[in-house]
Structure 1
Amino acid sequence: MARGKIQIKKIENQTNRQVTYSKRRNGLFKKAHELTVLCDARVSIIMISSTQKLHEYISPSTTTKQVFDQYQNAVGVDLWSSHYEKMQEHLKKLKDVNRNLRRRLVQSHRQPDRNQQEELRNVEEIHRNLVLELDARQEDPHYGLVEHDGDYNSVLGFPHGPRIIALRLPPNHHHHHPGLHGGGAASDLTTFALLD
């Protein structure tokens, strides 16, 4: 009894499709093994199913790389050259990006940003002002000072007011002069009455 011709088309039922794939894959691998043993052929089969599963058969006497290398030599095609060129181009771009990042990093370490420069100027200004204030205090002979248009009476606290001058003497120079008012031995403030 003769078998009828089977029409080859995609199997619509997914379960039937998977079963057929598995059976035919195993049959194909069996035939590849027979060719390897019977004919001393080097066979490599790579299959990827519709579910993205990889199945492969390679003759025990060879490797996949050896098969690809022999294929390239036999056909005169370089399978890797375009891929290698793309990788080289990508590597060049990465090196350029790396070089630019390094340059920017070095520049940022050499030149402080504007906020840091402004902060540094502020600190320097504060320092200058403090030094000037300290110098002024060291040079100040501690005379009683009155603001412009101020009242001498309120500064000195004496009833004779404008007729008395107060001087602060160094603590180790307490003198008692005739005609001096106030300023006992324990005080470094000495007052002088102005003569009429």
Structure 2
Amino acid sequence: MGRGKLEIKFIENPTNRQVTFSKRRNGIFKKAHELTLLCDAKVSLIIFSKSHKMHEYISPGLTTKKVIDQYQRTLGDIDLWRDHYEKMLENKKRLTDINNKLRRQIRQRIGEGMNNLDDLSFQQLRTLEDDMVSSTEKIRERKLHVIKTRTDTCRKKVRSLEQMNGNLLQELDSRTVALANGVSNFHAFNEEYNHLNRHQHVEEFDSYYLRLA
């Protein structure tokens, strides 16, 4: 018996759907590759899965842009890049205007060229002056913060060095006392040794004379 005809409808089970997608995708890519080899055809195939992941096959030596360009030349009245190009021009103009405005503001703040200030009204000059004062205050606050931070860091280092110096002095005093005690004990031992030695010599001398007598 032959296989029953598979009904084409949406596969509800996610696992089965993913397996079917992988098999069908590989099959259509294989057919596209065979079409390229057998017929020297130019094939560009793009597939987006449900998770928005792109899968693409393109004939060797070809790019998707070349295929689209050839598509446009073939149809003649369709320009797929026009809208994108116009949007890029609009974005470029917007960024250029922002850049020119920022450059003009920078020149005004540093007083570069009187022409940059001549076009300003009195109120605009007042606003610029207020902005400069505010900026100066912020810079001064930041500078003072940096100075305070560095000062605190130096003070901590000084306290740490003072503590290390104190510990070294205590250790030195302890070793000095121990050394002094050691010298004192050595002198006491030496005196006692000399005393015993002299006493022993006297006893030996007395014994010698007694034997002579």
SS at match of 2:57: strand
The structure showing larger relative contact order (alpha-carbon pairs under 8 Å, at least 6 residues apart) is 1
- 1:102 aligns to 2:118 (yes or no): no
1:127-172 CA-partner distances (Å, limit 9, x unpaired)? xxxxxxxxxxxxxxxxxxxxxxxxxxxxxxxxxxxxxxxxxxxxxx
Aligned AA for 1:23? Answer: K
- 1:91 aligns to 2:92 (yes or no): yes
Shift of 1:84: 0.5
Deviating more after overlay: 43-52 vs 104-113? 104-113
TM-score by length of 1: 0.54
> 1:69 maps to what in 2?
69
- Counterparts of 1:118-137 in structure 2, within 5 Å, are none
Aligned AA for 1:70? Answer: Q
- 1:39 aligns to 2:39 (yes or no): yes
C-alpha separation in 2, matches of 1:113 and 1:38: 76
SS at match of 2:66: helix
Aligned AA for 2:10? Answer: K
C-alpha separation in 2, matches of 1:91 and 1:71: 28
In terms of fraction of residues, the more strand-rich structure is: 1
SS at match of 2:51: coil
> 2:140 maps to what in 1?
none
1:30-51 CA-partner distances (Å, limit 9, x unpaired)? 1101111111111110111112
C-alpha separation in 1, matches of 2:60 and 2:97: 45
- Counterparts of 1:1-196 in structure 2, within 5 Å, are 1=1, 3-76=3-76, 77-110=78-111, 113-114=129-130
Alpha-carbon contact 1:42-1:61 (below 8 Å) kept: no
SS at match of 1:113: helix
Alpha-carbon contact 1:47-1:54 (below 8 Å) kept: yes
C-alpha separation in 1, matches of 2:101 and 2:66: 41
Shift of 1:109: 1.6
Alpha-carbon contact 1:45-1:56 (below 8 Å) kept: yes
Please, which runs of 5 or more residues in structure 2 have no aligned partner? Answer: 112-124, 137-213
Shift of 1:2: 5.1
TM-score by length of 2: 0.50
Shift of 1:56: 0.8
In terms of fraction of residues, the more helix-rich structure is: 2
Shift of 1:61: 3.5
SS at match of 1:60: coil
Shift of 1:7: 3.0
C-alpha separation in 2, matches of 1:13 and 1:75: 41
SS at match of 1:78: coil
SS at match of 1:56: strand
Percentage of matched positions with identical amino acids: 60
Please, which runs of 5 or more residues in structure 1 have no aligned partner? Answer: 120-196
SS at match of 2:19: helix
Shift of 1:54: 1.5
Shift of 1:65: 1.9
Alpha-carbon contact 1:43-1:58 (below 8 Å) kept: yes
Alpha-carbon contact 1:29-1:57 (below 8 Å) kept: yes
